[in-house]
């Protein structure tokens, strides 16, 4: 197929092999701890949608902790998908994953067809305008009583933690703008985009002095439009 990879796709292709290493100097194991933090709170599932899972470290854990689940992984970068495939094979679970290489914004996904949507350090690839446009569509893929597992950076409300988070967020956004053409200039709060009449928070963990948050939301019954 004759495709013109986007700047973002080319950037993540370049970064894929040493993506894990980028996190080590500042976060050590905290990003991976955050990715895995609420997995224990998920009940057994049949169908899971993962968006922008990158090099597959979370996918591997999901496959291990959800032995009955089939996973659809939507990821734009072929190099990241290659790493995901290696990690799924290492736990003998490749047959449970369907990979879709493409832009999550345009990939068609069926409404209400997943027990859980997983987005770890993925929503921060988008601006507030893009998110307010795309997030409702992604969330609509979650069935009634299903879950949305969101892991991301947050800027704490005040004090030195806020200063520290703003400093590292500024560095990261500049780095990813340079490497992948990232448009957003700062962390976009996702909670205001979630309707509390539809989504109930079930568990939450905070790491790295409040800079990283893992939250598990559940769709309240009969809220799927
Ligand atoms: C910041 S990385 C996060 C990777 C991983 N989820 C993690 O926990 O580190 C964002 C990932 O999302 C992918 N991505 C970004 N925008 C995308 C889009 N519009 N459609 C599909 N994948 C996308 C990138 O290729 C990359 O693998």
What is the residue extent of each domain of the chain?
7-219
Distance 43 CA to ligand 1 centre (A): 25
Average pLDDT score over residue span 107-131: 96
Pocket residue to mutate for ligand 1, from 122, 152, 181, most atoms within 8 A of Cβ: 122
pLDDT at 225 > cutoff 80: no
Q: Which residues line ligand 1 (CB under 6 A)?
A: 8, 12, 35, 52-54, 58, 74-77, 80, 103-105, 120-122, 125
Average pLDDT value over all residues in the chain: 95
pLDDT band for 4, please (50, 70, 90 cuts).
confident
Contact (Cβ atoms closer than 8 angstroms) between residue 11 and residue 54: no
6-31 burial, b at 16+ Cβ within 10 Å, e below that, comes to: eebbbbbbebbeebeeeeeeebeebb
In this predicted structure, what is the pLDDT of residue 152? 97
Distance CA 42, CA 7 (A): 35
Average pLDDT score over residue span 83-108: 97
Q: What is the pTM of this model?
A: 0.95
pLDDT at 143 > cutoff 70: yes
Could you identify the atom of ligand 1 that is nearest to the CA of residue 35?
A: 8
Of how many residues is the chain composed?
225
Are β-strands 142-153 and 212-219 bridged in parallel, bridged antiparallel, or unpaired? antiparallel
φ and ψ at 75, to 5 degrees? -150, 135
Give the residue from 119, 182, 181, 183 showing the smallest Cα distance to 153: 119
In this predicted structure, what is the pLDDT of residue 222? 66
Whole-angstrom distance between the N-terminal and C-terminal Cα of the chain?
A: 36
In this predicted structure, what is the pLDDT of residue 185? 85
Distance 137 CA to ligand 1 centre (A): 17
Q: How far is CA 185 from CA 134, 136, 170, in A?
A: 18, 22, 8
In this predicted structure, what is the pLDDT of residue 25? 86
Distance 118 CA to ligand 1 centre (A): 12
Say which CATH topology domain 7-219 has: Rossmann fold (3.40.50)
pLDDT band for 46, please (50, 70, 90 cuts).
very high
Contact (Cβ atoms closer than 8 angstroms) between residue 71 and residue 96: yes
Summarize pLDDT for 55-87 with one digit per residue, the tens.
999 999 999 999 999 999 999 999 999 999 999
Could you identify the atom of ligand 1 that is nearest to the CA of residue 74?
A: 21
Summarize pLDDT for 10-28 with one digit per residue, the tens.
999 999 999 998 898 889 9
Distance 142 CA to ligand 1 centre (A): 20
Contact (Cβ atoms closer than 8 angstroms) between residue 53 and residue 118: yes
Could you identify the atom of ligand 1 that is nearest to the CA of residue 53?
A: 6
pLDDT at 173 > cutoff 90: yes
Distance 134 CA to ligand 1 centre (A): 14
Distance CA 210, CA 124 (A): 16
3-state secondary structure at position 133: helix
């Amino acid at each position: 197929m004759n495709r013109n990879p986007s700047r973002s796709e080319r950037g993540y292709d370049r970064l894929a092999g040493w993506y894990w290493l980028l996190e080590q100097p500042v976060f050590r194991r905290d990003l991976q701890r955050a990715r895995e933090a609420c997995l224990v709170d998920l009940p057994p599932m049949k169908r899971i949608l993962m968006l922008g899972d990158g090099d597959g470290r979370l996918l591997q854990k999901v496959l291990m902790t959800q032995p009955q689940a089939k996973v659809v992984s939507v990821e734009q970068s072929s190099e990241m998908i290659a790493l995901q495939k290696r990690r799924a094979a290492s736990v003998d679970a490749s047959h449970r994953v369907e990979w879709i290489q493409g832009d999550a914004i345009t990939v068609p996904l069926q409404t209400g067809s997943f027990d859980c949507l997983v987005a770890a350090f993925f929503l921060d690839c988008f601006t507030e305008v893009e998110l307010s446009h795309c997030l409702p569509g992604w969330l609509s893929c979650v069935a009634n009583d299903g879950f949305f597992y969101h892991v991301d950076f947050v800027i704490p409300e005040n004090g030195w933690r806020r200063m520290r988070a703003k400093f590292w967020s500024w560095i990261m956004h500049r780095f990813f703008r340079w490497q992948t053409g990232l448009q957003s200039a700062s962390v976009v709060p996702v909670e205001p985009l979630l309707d509390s009449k539809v989504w109930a928070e079930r568990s939450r963990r905070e790491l790295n002095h409040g800079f990283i948050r893992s939250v598990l939301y559940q769709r309240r019954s009969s809220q799927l439009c």
